[in-house]
Structure 1
Amino acid sequence: MTQVSDTDLSIIIPVYQVSEELLLRCLKSVQEIQDLRKEVILVADGPDQEVCSNPAIQAFAGEAEFKISFYEKQHEGVSAARNYGIDHAGGTWIFFMDADDYICADAFRKVCPLLKKEEIDLAVMDYSMIQGEECSRHYYKKEMEAMNPVCFQKDILKPQSGAGFVWAKLYRREWLQETGVRFDTELSAAEDAEFMLRVALKNPRILNVPYNSYYYCYNSDSAVHSFREDYAGRYIDGMKKIRMDLEKEKVMARLQDEYDSCVLYHLLLIAVNYSFHPENPVTGKKRIENFRILLKKEMFRNSLKNVHPENFSMTRKVTLICIQLHLYRMVQLIAGVRHRQRRK
């Protein structure tokens, strides 16, 4: 028998190294959602996350007209925190947020009644990126339409489509329970895309809803853009896991082109955020030499033979061409320009 939930929406928010100001902004945006029974699940990823016990956060929770649950666990990363949230959610629908972002409340007022009339497991919505004073809207599909899971699988492997992000999506909680899909806690990079791929490989009933639901706030100082010695290895592990998922479901041949594009997209991230990062302690010709060694890895070598330019922006197309032509100083120059743009 299907259990009837008395909560429409469970919003799961991992909390790690976020300020009181940003977390309050996040929670206040949830408060604006009208006509829905909602709960927020805050999962502090580490015992030192004192922001959840901050007087201002506690005061907000005490006055909120919706339930805010606080959970504290040992530091295991965002994937473990999200899984913990899923296990404690009680809503019909689950929505993931980052603590330094905020939502467009009106989208939920419009979409949730619609989903009650449809047999849907996953609703895909739009999002906007906030970078400084600029706000750019990202449309996945501009029309409301049911989606083929196979097409969605392909789009997840095309990072610029936005399909691989876990936020700006509503997941039917019972469907997640039935399928057992959870985040891979062994991954610390590309974990969103890997999770979304396994969701799509379970052939959910998908509805694209062209409502702006989420504001992603770009932070040039975030850990994603900081230099880490293990940066390349983390993304390589993510690509290996995605390949394992595709091979397990026997769909590798069908999705080979898209997988190669996914690998190359992450190669470009590695070039900017690792190989030619300004804080990389390796300097001069050694950086280029190390990048050459990286390109000898089988996954990069094979994917570079199968470039699909239509899956990349113009800047990324140019960078890939430079890599193919062994113009590594140009790749280094492009990475330097990218870092200067971030600092503005």
Structure 2
Amino acid sequence: MSVPKVSVIIPVYNSEKYLEKCLGSIAAQTFTDFEAIMVDDGSTDGSALVCKNFAENDHRFKYYYKENGGAASARNYGIKQAAGDYIAFIDSDDYIEPDCFKNLTALLDEQSFSIIQGGMKLIRNGKESLLLPGMNNAKLSGDEYKLAVLKRQIPIFLFQSTVSKLYKRELIENSGVCFNEKYSISEDCLFNTELLKSDIDSVCFNETSDYCYIQDNSTLSKSSVSGKKVQNAIEIGTTTAAIRNSLISDLCAQNDSDVIAGFSKAICIIYLSNAHLIETGGFSEKEKAEFYNSYFSVMDYPVLPALSEYEGTDRKIIEASFKKDYKAISRIYALREKKAIIRKLLHRG
């Protein structure tokens, strides 16, 4: 039996509502040299029946069941089953256009690439917007790609996401990088950032947007912020920051102003994201202090090169974070909340 060009890994967990459309869009691809690896992560709804139906009617679809372990665990399981030259990931509540794989593999007859990055359609409550790589169908060497990431020339959502990409299977296997099963959030961001440490040969950008990422009121998480979620976010933020900082040295880019500005912007975003999780999670003052100190102690990176992009309370939060003054951050949030309440009362009046 010949080796497929692409192995498509679909983690499945209680997604019966969307699964038929997702798998149907894969079956309808104009590019046919693929295998679809459906990893049922312990679903308790009708997802298994949908998957088994596709497996029975199309030899390219393969169904696997495992005990529930989360999306990272399901992706790792799928990677172990994959036989294709390239690996793609599709979330079970999304779908792809008919020419998705055809467009992503279009240049593979001419040259082999470590990663092929496509665009994406964001569909939020029925409204569609395009998210493109912004690299004008460029072909970059591994080092050029890493510099482009550091300079934030690639939209952060596209870089962090594992969908709308093809990964050379050898790249993943040789790097030893896998999805960290400890985390249930941002594990894809950590996966892609850790891959930057590996021997990436070349990267191709395809400006077509054939991946349809669905985001609506029913799929947006409304769960409360847990201490575990905050700690996971802090750990991922500090790890990715350290990797980026190390890359700057490895690429001898310490004097590249665009690289330093991009790195500083990443640090600012981490500060703002962590502060939001901590201050809106209903934690005690002691708990908040412990969270802040857990990353203040290791985050000692410059923010000045990107500070001019921020104003108002965001700028104040970044400045307070850089000074490791968590009490100032709490005061800023308290004042922001008080102003919001006043505005709401005035509006009612």
Alignment TM class, shorter chain as reference: 0.7 to 0.9
Aligned equivalent of 2:103, options 85, 106, 110? 110
CA distance in 1, matches of 2:264, 2:222: 23
**Residue 84 of structure 1, CA deviation:** 1.0
Does the CA-based 8 Å contact 2:132-2:207 persist in structure 1?
yes
Name the amino acid aligned to 2:57: E
Q: For residues 193-245 of structure 1, give each alpha carbon's deviation from its aligned partner in whole angstroms, at most 9, with x where no partner exists.
A: 21111222223311111111311111445475521312211101112332454
User: Among the aligned pairs, what percent are the same residue?
Assistant: 21
**Residue 192 of structure 1, CA deviation:** 1.4
2:240 corresponds to: 242
Q: For residues 261-313 of structure 1, give each alpha carbon's deviation from its aligned partner in whole angstroms, at most 9, with x where no partner exists.
A: 3343244344555532xxx556xxx68x9767755541697458446158x7x
1:149 corresponds to: 145
1:79 corresponds to: 72
Does the CA-based 8 Å contact 2:104-2:118 persist in structure 1?
no
**Residue 33 of structure 1, CA deviation:** 0.8
1:58 corresponds to: 52
Runs of 4+ aligned structure 1 residues displaced above 6 Å come to 156-159, 333-336
1:9 corresponds to: 6
What is the correspondence of 1:116-135 to structure 2 with a 5 Å cutoff? 116-135=109-128
Name the amino acid aligned to 1:38: F
2:231 corresponds to: 233
**Residue 86 of structure 1, CA deviation:** 0.8
Pair 155,86 (structure 1): closer, same or farther in 2 beyond 3 Å: farther
Pair 118,321 (structure 1): closer, same or farther in 2 beyond 3 Å: same
Alignment partner of 1:214 is 2:200: no
Alignment partner of 1:262 is 2:246: no
Aligned-residue CA RMSD (Å): 3.5
CA distance in 2, matches of 1:307, 1:213: 35
**Residue 248 of structure 1, CA deviation:** 6.8
Name the amino acid aligned to 1:28: G
Q: For residues 106-145 of structure 1, give each alpha carbon's deviation from its aligned partner in whole angstroms, at most 9, with x where no partner exists.
A: 1321331322211211101101111102111001125111
Name the amino acid aligned to 1:105: P
Name the amino acid aligned to 1:51: G
Aligned equivalent of 1:179, options 160, 175, 198? 175
2:39 corresponds to: 43
CA distance in 2, matches of 1:159, 1:246: 16
Does the CA-based 8 Å contact 1:94-1:170 persist in structure 2?
yes
**Residue 16 of structure 1, CA deviation:** 1.9
CA distance in 2, matches of 1:162, 1:101: 15
Does the CA-based 8 Å contact 1:44-1:70 persist in structure 2?
yes
Name the amino acid aligned to 2:91: D
Pair 262,318 (structure 1): closer, same or farther in 2 beyond 3 Å: same
Does the CA-based 8 Å contact 1:38-1:91 persist in structure 2?
yes
Pair 134,222 (structure 1): closer, same or farther in 2 beyond 3 Å: closer
Which 5+ residue runs of structure 1 have no aligned equivalent?
337-344
Alignment partner of 1:27 is 2:23: yes
Which 5+ residue runs of structure 2 have no aligned equivalent?
321-327, 342-349
Alignment partner of 1:328 is 2:333: yes
Pair 176,305 (structure 1): closer, same or farther in 2 beyond 3 Å: closer
Name the amino acid aligned to 2:92: A
> What's the secondary structure of 1:198's corresponding residue?
helix
**Residue 246 of structure 1, CA deviation:** 4.9
1:97 corresponds to: 90
Aligned equivalent of 1:201, options 173, 197, 200? 197
Pair 98,27 (structure 1): closer, same or farther in 2 beyond 3 Å: same
Pair 266,301 (structure 1): closer, same or farther in 2 beyond 3 Å: closer
Name the amino acid aligned to 1:191: E
Stretch moving more, 182-191 or 168-177 = 182-191
